[in-house]
Amino acid sequence: MTLRVSGSQLVDSAGAPVRLRGVGLGGWLNMENFITGYPANESGMREAVGRAVGEDRAELFFDRLLTSFFGPEDADLLAAAGMNCVRIPFNYRHLESDDRPFEIDEHGFRHLDRVIGLLAERGIYSVLDLHAVPGSQNQHWHSDNPTHVAAFWRHRHFQDRVVHLWEAIADRYRDQPYVAGYNPVNEPGDPGGRVVGPFYDRLVKALRAVDPGHVLFLDGNTYSTDFSVFREVYENTVFVCHDYALAGFAHGGPYPGHTQGEWVDRDHLVRTFERRTAFQRETGTPIWVGEFGPVYTGDPEIDAQRYRILADQLEIFDEHQAGWALWTYKDVGLQGLVSADPAGPYLRRFGDFIAKKTRLGADRWGSTMEEAADVLAPLHRLMETEFPGWDPYPWGARYQTDDLIRHILIAQALLPEYAALFQGLSDDELVALADSFALRACVRREPLIELLTANLAG
């Protein structure tokens, strides 16, 4: 049932249209701070935990977490909801190491192979998403970036490694019909926009030489919003947009209502979607929203408005026959369809720490940008007064200042505190922490699951 692009649709080997709709498996092979509760970036966190408990015992925990986080029961849940697609983000560090560049680690494929197989058994396609590349392709934590510099675009060495890595991945999966295709670079953030286009040209050519059959899912520049970098419409390619709603962020206002001075209602969602998919509609290529979805607060009134945002977005996608992958499947309570139980071992141990992160606004995703305002507001005023013309890429001065202070400096200062919470635990206790993310130990966000299931059944 290998997929291919036919005009504005994806079709299977029999020529029947296939509209990919499902979830992203965030926080699994590419761990993220707001998803599993740690601070800063993944590699920094892993190093801190390794120092706290030793490398072997840290590996016991992390490998068990990968096993528990997604298993047969998770695949069954998604299939029962009517989903036919999972976007699988992964970090290059599972398949290649910085101290041995260009050497592929076959052992690193074991979990990816396992989940692709579980999904295929249930008729669910996988989109393979390289979410973190050597040197980091964007400025934020989700590319495992400990800084605010996307060094990937500055160094040919990093680019060479990604081309080589994708050649190996494509060679491995070229005969897998339930691999829908390859999403080679998540949310690129090339500040000048001069490197990303030629790099895509090179990468597409290399991938096609190894695997001419699978679909390519290519994100636009500036976090999958800018498609002007594409100099041609590649064959058998989907150009992926991401479509987070302004009112759905943690700092979002009422819906409908004002957020950051903008009135956000269904018409606003339509205009935003049409702007973000203009390239796809102009070129007659399939529309696929690789990420979207509101965050939830625990306040029933606010969360009801967030569900309404999601329902309106799904209706808009339906009207345009757009495919989608909701962000994200599983976490500690911010967005997931399912979440670790607050009464389970992991959140009993780390709950107070996560509350401290929330109080400080240490995670970019989930921050209202108002935490510790008494401390940070004078700094923002100073920057505005002294540097009124400063407008750094990608999102401007206010976000840049918060990123540097909250999401890098404060977040990294929290790493030893997080790692120390692993100390003194037995092997059985480490396993129990990891198993807190097994579906049997999770709670389900039923209104979200019901909303998605009803949409997919329609």
Q: What's the CA gap between 49 and 420, in Å, rounded?
A: 8
Would the CA dihedral through 68, 73, 78, 81 be positive or negative? negative
Q: What does residue 6 show for φ and ψ, rounded to 5 degrees?
A: -130, 100
178: tokens are 């339930």
Q: What's the CA gap between 46 and 412, in Å, rounded?
A: 12
Residues 283, 233: contact at Cβ < 8 Å?
A: yes
Residues 92, 165: contact at Cβ < 8 Å?
A: yes
Q: What does residue 5 show for φ and ψ, rounded to 5 degrees?
A: -85, 130
Residue 66: partners with Cβ closer than 8 Å, 6 or more residues away: 28, 29, 111
Q: Is 32 a catalytic residue?
A: no
Q: Which amino acid is at 279?
A: F
Q: Which amino acid is at 275?
A: R
Q: Is 55 a catalytic residue?
A: no
Quickly tell me which residue has 């926080």 as its tokens: 27
Among candidate residues 121, 291, 384, 386, the one labeled active-site is 291
Residues 411, 40: contact at Cβ < 8 Å?
A: yes
Distances from the Cα of 405 to the Cα of 38, 188, 398, 410, angstroms: 17, 23, 11, 6
Residues 375, 397: contact at Cβ < 8 Å?
A: no
The one-character DSSP state at 237 is: E
Among candidate residues 32, 96, 187, 371, the one labeled active-site is 187
Ranges of H-type helices in 55-190 = 55-69, 72-81, 110-121, 156-173
3-class SS string, 11-31: ECCCCCECCCEEEECCCCECC
Q: Single out the residue of 251, 297, 264, 275 nearest to residue 399, CA to CA.
A: 251
Residues 245, 272: contact at Cβ < 8 Å?
A: yes
Q: Single out the residue of 416, 413, 411, 417 nearest to residue 148, CA to CA.
A: 411
The catalytic residues are 187, 291
